[in-house]
Amino acid sequence: MEVSVIRSSSQAKISKTELGCRDLRFCFGKSNDKNKIFSRKPNSVCFDSQISRFRKAGLRFTLKAIHSDPILESKSPATSKSLDRLRLFVGLPLDAVSDRNSVNHARAIGAGLKALKLLGVEGVELPVWWGVVENEMGKYDWSGYLAVAEMVQKAGLKLHVSLCFHASSQPRIPLPKWVTKIGESQSSIFFADRSGQHYQQCLSLAVDDLAVLDGKTPVQVYQGFCESFKSTFSPFMGSTITGISMGLGPDGELRYPSHHKPAKSGTITGVGEFQCYDTNMLNLLKQYAEANGNPLWGLGGPHDAPTYDQAPNSNSFFKDHGGSWESPYGDFFLSWYSSELVSHGNRLLSLASSIFGDTEVNVYGKVPLMHSWYKTRAHPSELTAGFYNTASRNGYEAVAEMFARNSCKIILPGMDLSDEHQPHDALSSPESLLAQIRTTCNKHRVEVAGQNLASGAPGGLEQIKKNMLGENPIDLFTYQRMGAHFFSPEHFPSFTEFVRSLSQPELHPDDLPSDEAEATESVQTSSDPNIHLQTA
Amino acid sequence: MAAVTIDSLLQNPTLLFRPKAKVLLKPPRSLDCSRNRKLPLSRGSCLCSFNPRRTIHVVRASSSETALIGNFDISSSDDILYKDIFPVKRIEKVEGKFFIRLDRSKDQHDWQLTVGCSLPGKWILHWGVSYLGDSGSEWDQPPKGMRPPGSIPIKDYAIETPLKKLSEGDIFHEVKIDFNPISEIAAIHFVLKDEETGAWYQHRGMDFKVPLVDYLEDDGNIVGAKRGFGVWSGAVTGQYRIMSQVAYFLVIYRIPSEPTLGDVGALQQFSNVLLKSEASHADSQNNSIESKDSKNKNRCLEGFYEEQSIVKEVSVGNLVSVAVRKSPETGKVIVCLETDIPGDVVVHWGVCRDDAKIWEIPAAPYPPETTVFKNKALRTLLQPKATGNRSGALFTLDEEHFGFLFVLKLDDNTWLKFKEDDFYVPLLGISSVPGQYGQSDSTSEEISSKSYTDGIINEIRNLVSGLSSEKSQKTKKKEVQESILQEIEQLAAEAYSIFRSSITTVPEEVVSETETTKPAVKISSGTGTGFEILCQGFNWESHKSGRWYMELKEKASEISSLGFTVIWLPPPTESVSPEGYMPKDLYNLNSRYGTIDELKELVKSLHEVGMKVLGDVVLNHRCAHFKNQNGVWNIFGGRLNWDDRAVVADDPHFQVLMFSLILKALAIQGTFEGRGNKSSGDNFHAAPNIDHSQEFVRKDLKEWLGWLREEIGYDGWRLDFVRGFWGGYVKDYLEASGPYFAVGEYWDSLSYTYGEMDHNQDSHRQRIVDWINATNGTAGAFDVTTKGILHSALERCEYWRLSDQKGKPPGVVGWWPSRAVTFIENHDTGSTQGHWRFPGGKEMQGYAYILTHPGTPAVFYDHIFSHHRSEIASLISVRNRNGIHCRSLELYMVG
């Protein structure tokens, strides 16, 4: 059965009697007054905060349910909020599959999967590396990842695949050798900073549509990769694999590599640098400047921007008052710089959604949480990363709109960060930034999934819990990341506690499923396959 | 399995001959009626079994059952929510008579042996003869002429002749054997067999023997023997059933000589003891026997008649019918239970709240004749129904109950159960139950050993789905959660150890190439010097004398002289259990083995004879002194007065479940493959597990170990049940206490496929190696893998098992010899516990293996002080002469 959201009623009151459907495991309170679930706004369906109760009760609105309303579908197919029960994923080790395409720590992962399944975790996230799979251009070796997918399937878990078109330094997972080789002779395929240093962990967004890879454009190469992935993993699609993250840049995130130089320990993260100095980026800037009638502005980036680890006011560009960022030049540059990033995201996400759109897999993209200096007016960290978000301008509108256009969902990392644990001088506010992005996403009806930045951040688990269960809850969270620390006695017990606290029912007896539904459920769950325990 | 008789005490101690094996050691199948008979008698420990049949429409059509069902009132009601007919089988005893008569046949020339039985059944006389001059008690085929019609020869030693009713009206089935007394036949031997049940009826566990010549040596089984009495027990084959009825009979066979005084005395004495006397004096046919001289003796044959009572167990099928309906007036659920089992039937019942099927007592009202049994269940006597010989009861229950559980108690104190489990009637969500129920029905009947673990897995599975689907979790039992948490913890620890070490393959030890040069003596706690030979200095009974330390002290020099370098002493702390494995106050070392001073004395003596002493330390769990405010026993007393923070717990710092013991039980069960019964869960809650992740706990334990080293003089540790906590903590403890030698007990089950041990036990030894790895090699571990493989290899001569795929020893000793402590028996596996006993008679082969292989061998106390002693001593000296040490290269024994 599907639930149609009836447009004609501004307050659809759905009561128990109307929903005899077991499959959806609905359970509503008995008081209808509280059940203003859907409040209709023009051409949209919104859910008020009551939904948290339903989510806890295992309420499931399928996407199909919304799609059954033709008007909504035609207007905003991606904006419907698919409310599932709260789902927790755990990231597998970055090097779960090594460059020789064999599964590393297979036994540990196997044990880990069992432990997670027993804990009630929904699934795992698996980073799939371009550099591991496509060792020769156009030739894909998926064997290691297939083995992992099988393990995950056997463990009865779901799989979220992150397609990584970038490289990792720790553990070291490079780009495909043939790409690196091209980069040696043609360094302009990489981003460059003002000093001309290249960032070689991912391709510059400026080459997306340039045939720099042996006659192919990077987008074409990514397309081949995704299509091969789709056909190879078709048996898992929609069943085991429920989500795919499209790699969009450094660390898979939609951003410029503005902060790739790690801050020295004990120092505050600097503002980062603009990455617009590779020849292709400069070409784009030049074209844009000429088109805007300011050709002189197209010769380079801002001359008065600080360097990577400097504070905003160390130069004039990001100054809170009278900084160049507020000048017409600043607006010109930042508009271009950020729009290039959004265009790049659009290219890759439209590619992904066209490839995976016909599967039941959700496509995600990761947007970074550049929270440093958020309390300044200029938000320099966000600006250098490509988000034209300042005290006076919401830079995430364009981003959210782009995700909405492509029916993709946003993964937001840093849900473990809380303001109180940030260094005071950093003028950072991860919570405010998170709230801003989420509000913007809500506005564009882009669903947000959460991720933590690092396991073991102080107060991280509480913060995650707050984000998952709070006023504006998220329903998918990927916890990073399985490994020695994750299972260590210092960490794992608290994680266990965290998971258990998430799944503790806080339902009033009235909200418990009816007898019938419960019996049905127990039949369903007891047939849960593939849990093999080593009891002995 | 063998028929059990209670008369062995009565037997003539001067017995010279054992019964002929090939006859009496019948193939086990014929004894085990439940396996090969159409009438299932029993399965496992349960007396009654029943075939799962659920709702009426799937009941196999059988006329009698259908009729019965039709008779039940409840089956016709319309408002029934759930209905089930449980066919049950119970054992009914039928008594009858059985006689043996020897007399002259009608022509007064030949003699005739008649055996008859009054019980219904397909009776077969399984018989043979022995000839004069036969030296043993072998049977032979009787001459052709002796065989009654219908006889079938069984190989070359026996005849089977069916007993027949001579005419319809006869009570007795009879068989007559005619024979000529002049023949060379010395005796006729027989046993009686009931083809219907497969039961064998014997005489004192042997064959009946009718001597035809009086000089025969008395095997104790002569019928009508000159000792003047005979005791017969009809031992039947129900696996755990010993027939209680004993019959005996008196002299009927007159012999020329007088019975001796001793015979008479014995007779009088026993007649008081015997339970039942149905002696019937035969009419004294004082027929003087023709003395036909055969070769050397007078044959003085006299007729006799003996009668014995015989009891047969017959399996009777009955039905238990259950119907559930809802009372329209009260909204309550009414469970209607009826059965046609005769006699007083008591329903022992309760309700449960969830799938875990934990018994609870529902709220009143109860049916009449209901009593509360130990606060756990209710007992209701079924009331006879007006019609027929049926009885039943109505149970009115509130509707929120999940299920109705019951077992039946019959008037002869037998219990009727559902496949070794409770009968279960679902009350909630009945409409969808068939699927669910079908699943439980399909659980394999054949693999009973797995059912327990499977049950746990199912519970876990249910719970997991419960967790993730956020169903009414409150109703899930805390215990199961706790066990899951433990399971998760174990898995996490495993994952952690691998991730941390980043060793993706087995650490293969580099063994020293040169055999002759002794490795430099470098003592590490994992290996000692590398030349250690361990003696386990106690068994499961050692606590009984109360002065074990003193007893062992006397043996110190003897043990040392045998070549042992290390001795493992029993757990020294105050303990709730006398054996010491349930420690309470860790600093109180007065135990059932002796006082702290005696312990010190013992350690001193052992040191004097050059031995190192291992203390058995239990770090996994500890018994509390006091209850906390919630009434949970988790406040410790004594010097380490921890509070409940020290206890591993539910969330997850609150665990009061002794999961370790469950794991241990599972391991044992796994190793037994098929013999274990579901244990009562109560035993497992005995002691709180210690939470080693608590800094103060670790600090205290380290301090304690240090104290033991200093105060008592222990040189090292035997670590009890290290599966219960992470190996990394062990490393911590060992580094803090700096032992000379340490070995951990990591015991879990080997891999089996269909009850057959797998050749490849890599996963098993990997788990042990992982543990050692987690301790960073600071401790060795008992090589359970090798023991398991030796079991199969030696018991069944499957010597191919002794080499793994790489041609190395298949146990831990093949992978990490220096950390493997090889053993064949300990206080748990052997001794009086016998959880996993080494194959009997193969002990020396086992010791020959471990004492000639690398690894550190451990010898069990019971074996040292047994007839194996000298052989063990010589094997040790062979080991020492050849300089075998824990890292030695393989010595392959030829032949």
Q: Chain B residue closest to A114 (CA)?
A: B491
Asked whether the bond before B739 is cis by omega within 30 degrees of 0, the reply is no
Q: Which two tokens stand for residue B839?
A: 């194959």
Q: Would you state the pLDDT for residue B223?
A: 56
CATH of the domain spanning B327-426, picked from 1.10.246, 2.60.40, 3.40.1440, 3.20.20: 2.60.40
Q: Would you state the pLDDT for residue A67?
A: 36
Name the packing angle between helices B727-737 and B478-501 (round to 10°). Answer: 70
Question: Is A180 an 8 Å CB contact of chain B?
Answer: no
- C-alpha B222/C-alpha A183 separation (Å) is 103
Q: Chain B residue closest to A113 (CA)?
A: B491
Catalytic residues of B: 720, 745
**Partner-chain residue, chosen from B453, B461, B493, that has the shortest CB–CB distance to A526:** B461
Q: Which two tokens stand for residue B498?
A: 């691998």
Q: Chain B residue closest to A116 (CA)?
A: B488
Q: How far apart are the first and last CA of chain A?
A: 43
List of residues 6+ apart from B753 with CB closer than 8 A = none
Question: Is A512 an 8 Å CB contact of chain B?
Answer: yes
Q: Which residues of B touch A526 (CB under 8 A)?
A: 436, 439, 458, 461-462, 465
**Partner-chain residue, chosen from B460, B499, B749, that has the shortest CB–CB distance to A118:** B460
| Torsion angles phi and psi, residue B231, rounded to 5 | -125, 135
Q: Would you state the pLDDT for residue A255?
A: 93
Q: Would you state the pLDDT for residue B647?
A: 63
Question: Is A262 an 8 Å CB contact of chain B?
Answer: no
The dihedral over CA atoms of B454, B456, B462, B463, expressed in degrees to the nearest 10, equals -160
Higher pLDDT, A508 or B736: B736
Q: Would you state the pLDDT for residue A123?
A: 92
- C-alpha B313/C-alpha B307 separation (Å) is 19
Q: Would you state the pLDDT for residue B460?
A: 52
B252-286 pLDDT tens trace: 333 333 333 333 333 333 333 333 333 333 333 33
Q: Would you state the pLDDT for residue B666?
A: 39
**Partner-chain residue, chosen from B435, B693, B749, that has the shortest CB–CB distance to A493:** B693
Question: Is A137 an 8 Å CB contact of chain B?
Answer: no
Do the Cβ atoms of A518 and B429 come within 8 Å? yes
Q: Chain B residue closest to A522 (CA)?
A: B462
Lowest mean pLDDT among A127-131, A271-275, B31-35, B79-83: B31-35
Higher pLDDT, A6 or B554: B554
Higher pLDDT, B201 or A275: A275
Q: Would you state the pLDDT for residue B688?
A: 64
Do the Cβ atoms of B651 and A500 come within 8 Å? yes
Q: Which residues of B touch A85 (CB under 8 A)?
A: 468-470
Quick count: other Cβ atoms within 10 Å of Cβ B865?
13
B382-420 pLDDT tens trace: 888 766 677 888 888 877 778 888 888 877 677 777 766
Lowest mean pLDDT among A185-189, B164-168, B551-555, B743-747: B164-168
Alpha helical stretches, state H, A357-459: 380-385, 396-405, 430-443
Local mean pLDDT, 10-residue blocks, chain A (536 residues): 41 39 37 40 41 42 36 33 64 84 83 88 92 90 91 92 90 89 90 89 92 92 94 91 93 89 64 90 92 88 87 87 90 93 95 91 92 90 93 92 93 87 82 91 91 75 80 81 83 83 53 40 37 36
**Partner-chain residue, chosen from B462, B485, B491, that has the shortest CB–CB distance to A526:** B462
pLDDT over 80 at B536, yes or no: yes
Higher pLDDT, A370 or B450: A370
| Nearest chain A Cα distance for residue B807, angstroms | 24
Return left, alpha or beta for B717; rule: phi > 0 is left, psi -120 to 50 is alpha, else beta: beta
The 3 state secondary structure assigned to B29-42 is: HHHCHHHHCCCCCC
Question: Is A211 an 8 Å CB contact of chain B?
Answer: no
Strand B741-744 relative to strand B716-719: parallel, antiparallel, unpaired?
parallel
Do the Cβ atoms of A520 and B432 come within 8 Å? yes
Question: Is B468 an 8 Å CB contact of chain A?
Answer: yes
Query: Which amino acid, residue B639?
Result: R
Question: Is B272 an 8 Å CB contact of chain A?
Answer: no
Give the confidence band of B163 by pLDDT, cuts at 50, 70, 90: confident
Do the Cβ atoms of B429 and A516 come within 8 Å? yes
pLDDT over 70 at B805, yes or no: yes
pLDDT over 80 at B669, yes or no: no
Q: Would you state the pLDDT for residue B456?
A: 52
Question: Is A513 an 8 Å CB contact of chain B?
Answer: yes
Report A:56-85 residues touching B (Cβ under 8 A): 56-58, 85
Kindly report the CATH class assigned to B93-224+303-308: mainly beta
Do the Cβ atoms of A525 and B466 come within 8 Å? yes
For testing contact with chain A, the best of B485, B491, B748, B771 (most A CBs within 10 A): B491
Q: Chain A residue closest to B663 (CA)?
A: A536
- C-alpha A90/C-alpha B247 separation (Å) is 73
Higher pLDDT, B248 or B709: B709
B427-446 pLDDT tens trace: 775 543 333 333 333 333 33
Percent of chain B with pLDDT over 70: 61
CA dihedral sign, ordered B437, B438, B441, B444: negative
Instruction: Count residue pairs from A and B with Cβ separation < 8 A.
Output: 168
User: Using the 8-state DSSP alphabet, how is residue B713 labeled?
Assistant: -
Do the Cβ atoms of A489 and B726 come within 8 Å? yes
- C-alpha B724/C-alpha B744 separation (Å) is 11
Residue B180 and residue B299 in contact, taking contact as beta carbons nearer than 8 Å: no
Q: Chain B residue closest to A532 (CA)?
A: B457
The 3 state secondary structure assigned to B429-468 is: CHHHHHHHHHHHHHCCCCCHHHHHHHHHHHHHHHHHHHHH
Give the residue carrying structure tokens 């009508």: B224
Q: Would you state the pLDDT for residue A531?
A: 36
Helices (H) and strands (E) in chain B, counts: 19, 34
CA dihedral sign, ordered B674, B680, B681, B684: negative
For testing contact with chain B, the best of A487, A507, A511 (most B CBs within 10 A): A487
Kind and range of the H or E run holding B413: none
CATH 2.60.40 domain span(s) along chain B: 93-224+303-308, 327-426
pTM: 0.42
Fold of A87-269+341-502: TIM Barrel (3.20.20)
**Partner-chain residue, chosen from B428, B467, B666, that has the shortest CB–CB distance to A503:** B467
Q: What string of DSSP letters covers B671-686?
A: HHSS---PPPGGGGGS
Question: Is A526 an 8 Å CB contact of chain B?
Answer: yes
Mapping DSSP to helix (H, G, I), strand (E, B) and coil, where does residue B883 land? coil
Nearest to A479 by CA among A38, A33, A116, A100: A116
For testing contact with chain B, the best of A486, A531, A535 (most B CBs within 10 A): A535
- C-alpha B693/C-alpha A104 separation (Å) is 28
Question: Is B694 an 8 Å CB contact of chain A?
Answer: no
Question: Is A484 an 8 Å CB contact of chain B?
Answer: yes
Radius of gyration of chain A (CA): 24
pLDDT over 50 at B493, yes or no: yes
Residue A132 and residue A177 in contact, taking contact as beta carbons nearer than 8 Å: no
Q: How far apart are the first and last CA of chain B?
A: 35
Question: Is A483 an 8 Å CB contact of chain B?
Answer: yes
List of residues 6+ apart from B280 with CB closer than 8 A = B249, B305, B306, B307
Residue B201 and residue B194 in contact, taking contact as beta carbons nearer than 8 Å: yes
Do the Cβ atoms of A489 and B496 come within 8 Å? yes
Give the confidence band of B662 by pLDDT, cuts at 50, 70, 90: very low
For testing contact with chain B, the best of A522, A531, A532 (most B CBs within 10 A): A522
Long-range contacts of B382-388 (CB under 8 A, 24+ apart): B382/B337, B382/B338, B382/B339, B382/B344, B382/B345, B382/B346, B382/B347, B385/B73, B385/B338, B387/B71, B388/B71, B388/B340
Q: Which residues of A touch B491 (CB under 8 A)?
A: 111-112, 114-115, 118
Q: Would you state the pLDDT for residue A53?
A: 43
Biggest alpha carbon–alpha carbon distance for chain B: 98
Kind and range of the H or E run holding B383: strand B383-384
Do the Cβ atoms of B436 and A519 come within 8 Å? yes
Question: In the predicted model, what is the mean pLDDT of residues B638-655?
Answer: 53
Nearest to A35 by CA among A17, A23, A8, A62: A17
- C-alpha A164/C-alpha A222 separation (Å) is 10
Question: Is B356 an 8 Å CB contact of chain A?
Answer: no
Do the Cβ atoms of A503 and B693 come within 8 Å? no
Q: What string of DSSP letters covers B512-524?
A: PS-SSSPPP---B
Helices (H) and strands (E) in chain A, counts: 17, 13
- Where are chain A's structural domains? 87-269+341-502
Q: Chain B residue closest to A523 (CA)?
A: B436
Residue B583 and residue B592 in contact, taking contact as beta carbons nearer than 8 Å: no
Q: Which two tokens stand for residue B777?
A: 């090699």
The dihedral over CA atoms of B660, B666, B669, B671, expressed in degrees to the nearest 10, equals -90
| Torsion angles phi and psi, residue B318, rounded to 5 | -135, 170
The dihedral over CA atoms of A108, A114, A116, A118, expressed in degrees to the nearest 10, equals -150
Alpha helical stretches, state H, B208-308: 261-273
Q: Would you state the pLDDT for residue B79?
A: 64
Q: Would you state the pLDDT for residue B604?
A: 92
